[in-house]
Amino acid sequence: MGQNRAMTRILLLLPTRTYRTADFLAAADRLGVEVVVGAERRNALESLTGGGTIRVPLDDPQRGAAVIAAYGRERPFDAVVGVDDGSILVAAAAAERLGLPHNPVAAVALSRDKAAARAAFAGAGLPSPRYATHPAAAGPAELAAIAVATRYPCVVKPIGRSGSQGVIRADDTAELVAAFRRVAAILGCDVDGSPPPAPADLALAAAPDAASHAPSILIEDFIPGVEVAVEGLLRAGDLEILAVFDKPDPLEGPYFEETLYVTPSRLPPASRGAVEAVVARATAALGLREGPVHAEVRLNAAGAWVLEVAARSIGGLCARALRFGAGVSLEELILRHAAGLELPPHRRSGRASGVLMLPIRQAGRLREVRGQTAAEAVPGIEGLSITVPRGETLVPLPEGDRYLGFLFARAGTPAAVEEALRAAWSRLEVVIDAADAA
């Protein structure tokens, strides 16, 4: 693998709807590496980089890997990097074909399948909720039987989605039936249990149940407790913890809309140690070995429970809340590691930091977001990015799959960061034309 920065070539796989294009390209530019961009559609590639572009079918890992491998044999890459859930499986399969360091394809597939991951965690002796999977096309009689057999409270979720889309708490049989039908509809099944007419339309790119054209729904015990997020980097199977984020807003349901992330965590040292240890065990249980890891963990009297381990870095624009060493970004660390370049000193910068993911609370068409100047004037606020253009339709959770935007803050303490983010949020007014909702 080439170590000369001027000769290093990286393929970045960028799903069309990713927020992260600009930040990864900026990191590549700082490193002076040549970038080739791969995405699903040609119009998503234009003017991104001078290093070349490839049209890659990200919804078919083996076909996408074949396209990349054919290109890479003519113009070799030093790394293939998938930046979001929709591209990490293709990246692993392509790197395998090209003989580049990568996560095992089977391990990435496990991380994308919530039920399979649950089984792997339980097999490794990790605290794990009781769960069951059911076909999303379950009919009324089958669904009634499922509701009777389920222990409450529970959480209903699709097997392969992310970002809390389709995740619903149910406290009794009636709520479970309603939640199951709602999740089935999100997956493309009619509420009467009919399967989707066109499986190819399912937005479960690279997820195992999408590949089988049989969307499934997971029902598991609700795990109470404090929730945190963990950002890490795997190198030859060894996990380095980069940051632990507190989530100050309780995530109790019925939907699980994430808002505030603040680091460093205010957990006691013993609790933080338990979180870090369980994430390391969980990555090993999945078989992940290389690259970024994003994990969600709950803590209660029974210990640390892994809810999710994703073979990618933190989503959205949240990585902007992290800086390492002398201003090194998370994207730069990911690219350096992937391409075999030397990692600079990268302890997280000393000041506390955080991000507030602006929730979508009402369906409709976005007219404007007022108060942005006032929000940015709050002491400690470092940036505000509204990522939904005016005029676009807003869809709240559990059907929605994105945020309105992101607020960033940095201050001397985690409490000051949280205070700044809440104060700035209170100054924003989201104006929505509800009558124009799609």
pLDDT for 12 beyond 80: yes
CATH architecture of 130-221: 2-Layer Sandwich (3.30)
Q: Would you state the pLDDT for residue 196?
A: 44
pLDDT range class, residue 296, cuts 50, 70, 90: very high
Q: What percent of the chain has pLDDT over 90?
A: 80
Mean pLDDT of the chain: 90
CATH architecture of 351-438: Alpha-Beta Complex (3.90)
Q: Would you state the pLDDT for residue 197?
A: 43
- Please give the average per-residue pLDDT across 82-94, as a whole number: 95
Over the stretch 201-240, which tens digit does the pLDDT of each residue have?
Answer: 333 333 344 434 579 999 999 999 999 999 999 999 999 9
The model carries a pTM of 0.90
DSSP-based three-state secondary structure for 124: coil
pLDDT for 257 beyond 70: yes
- Please give the average per-residue pLDDT across 350-354, as a whole number: 92
Higher-confidence position of 108 and 20: 108
Sequential DSSP letters for 24-66? HHHHHHHHT-EEEEEESSGGGTTTS-TT-EEE--TT-HHHHHH
Q: Is the peptide bond before 61 cis (omega within 30 degrees of 0)?
A: no
Higher-confidence position of 425 and 161: 425
Over the stretch 325-340, which tens digit does the pLDDT of each residue have?
Answer: 878 999 999 999 999 9
**Is 5-103 in CATH node 3.40.50.20?**
yes
Domain ranges, ordered by start, for the chain: 5-103, 130-221, 351-438
- Please give the average per-residue pLDDT across 372-394, as a whole number: 97
Question: Residues for the chain: how many in total?
Answer: 438
pLDDT range class, residue 31, cuts 50, 70, 90: very high
Q: Would you state the pLDDT for residue 45?
A: 57
Q: Would you state the pLDDT for residue 204?
A: 33
- The answer to whether residues 9 and 74 touch, using CB atoms and an 8 Å cutoff, is no
Q: Would you state the pLDDT for residue 244?
A: 97
- Please give the average per-residue pLDDT across 85-114, as a whole number: 95
Lowest-confidence segment of 62-76, 155-169, 255-269 by average pLDDT: 155-169
- The answer to whether residues 190 and 182 touch, using CB atoms and an 8 Å cutoff, is no
- The answer to whether residues 419 and 352 touch, using CB atoms and an 8 Å cutoff, is no
